[in-house]
């Protein structure tokens, strides 16, 4: 710890926003950070979903965490965390946050089959095990791909249509079923684990199983 780190922490407590780190093991509160829009983003969609965040030198927030702003209740997924150093000591962290536009997603896994006699012909249908409910995630719908300018919009660079970002700790697998809202079902067709630290990027498609 350096004096500058402690001074900046006190400044964040005065001008920043209180936030809570949402974790299965127990939420962590009492930290303050500065939430900002990026001047490099111009389209309404990316302005809505992309934030830069300054956190104190001793923050417990890490990539893959869900961070909730206490005053607004809005939740974000921490996709990057970079340390700023002075005189060989960390004095703050610069973070990138993506807004969670899915607050109660559910992830299911096939657990076998059962006979369905609801029609004239018997046939087997899959049964599902709930892996996690109330998932906070960001789902990229077709609107993003149609509206992004690749030369100017860096906020969601690399994101494609029909992708879901969620913490790696959830444990998603290929062929899982994702439900972001009631009545919507998607099959996980691919998972990328190296695009963002501690975050899975699931490619999803309509699930008719």
CA dist 137 and 47 (Å) reads: 17
Listed residues 99, 119, 139: the one ending a domain: 99
Q: Please indicate, yes or no, whether residues 89 and 108 belong to a single structural domain of this protein.
A: no
For residue 12, what pLDDT is reported?
A: 97
What's this model's pTM, rounded to 2 decimal places?
Answer: 0.85
Listed residues 84, 99, 114: the one ending a domain: 99
CA dist 103 and 67 (Å) reads: 12
- Give the structural domain span for 47: 3-99
For residue 143, what pLDDT is reported?
A: 42
Helix, coil or strand: residue 143: helix
Q: Please indicate, yes or no, whether residues 179 and 118 belong to a single structural domain of this protein.
A: yes
Q: Please indicate, yes or no, whether residues 31 and 62 belong to a single structural domain of this protein.
A: yes
Q: Please indicate, yes or no, whether residues 87 and 132 belong to a single structural domain of this protein.
A: no
What is the number of other CB atoms lying within 10 angstroms of the CB of residue 129?
11
29: CATH = 2.40.10
Q: Please indicate, yes or no, whether residues 82 and 175 belong to a single structural domain of this protein.
A: no
- Per-block average pLDDT, block size 10, for the chain (209 residues)? 87 97 96 86 74 97 97 96 94 96 95 72 83 94 48 51 92 97 92 94 92
For residue 156, what pLDDT is reported?
A: 52
Q: Please indicate, yes or no, whether residues 197 and 113 belong to a single structural domain of this protein.
A: yes
CA dist 29 and 71 (Å) reads: 13
Both structure tokens of 25: 């093991």
Q: Which helix (H) or strand (E) holds 26?
A: none
For residue 79, what pLDDT is reported?
A: 95
Q: Please indicate, yes or no, whether residues 91 and 107 belong to a single structural domain of this protein.
A: no
Helix, coil or strand: residue 110: strand
In the chain, the number of structural domains is: 2
Start-to-end CA distance of the chain, whole Å, equals 54
For residue 180, what pLDDT is reported?
A: 94
Q: Please indicate, yes or no, whether residues 14 and 67 belong to a single structural domain of this protein.
A: yes
For residue 182, what pLDDT is reported?
A: 83
Listed residues 70, 99, 128: the one ending a domain: 99
Q: Is 98:77 a contact under the CB 8 Å cutoff?
A: yes
């Amino acid at each position: 710890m350096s004096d500058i780190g402690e001074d900046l922490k006190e400044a964040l407590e005065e001008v920043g926003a209180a936030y809570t780190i949402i974790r299965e093991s127990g939420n962590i509160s009492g930290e303050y950070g500065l939430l900002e829009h990026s001047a490099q983003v111009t389209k309404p969609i990316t302005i809505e979903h992309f934030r830069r965040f300054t956190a104190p030198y001793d923050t417990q927030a890490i990539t893959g965490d869900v961070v909730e702003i206490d005053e607004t209740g809005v939740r974000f997924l921490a996709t990057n965390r970079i340390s700023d150093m002075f005189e060989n000591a960390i004095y703050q962290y610069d973070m990138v946050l993506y807004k969670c536009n899915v607050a109660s997603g559910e992830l299911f896994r096939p657990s076998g089959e059962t006979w369905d006699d609801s029609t004239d012909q018997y046939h087997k249908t899959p049964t599902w095990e709930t892996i996690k409910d109330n998932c906070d995630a960001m789902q990229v719908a077709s609107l993003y791909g149609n509206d992004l300018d690749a030369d100017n919009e860096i906020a969601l660079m690399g994101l494609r249509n029909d992708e879901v970002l969620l913490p790696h700790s959830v444990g998603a697998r290929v062929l899982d079923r994702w439900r972001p809202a009631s009545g919507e079902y998607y099959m996980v067709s691919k998972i990328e684990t190296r695009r963002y630290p501690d975050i899975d990027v699931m490619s999803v498609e309509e699930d008719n199983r």
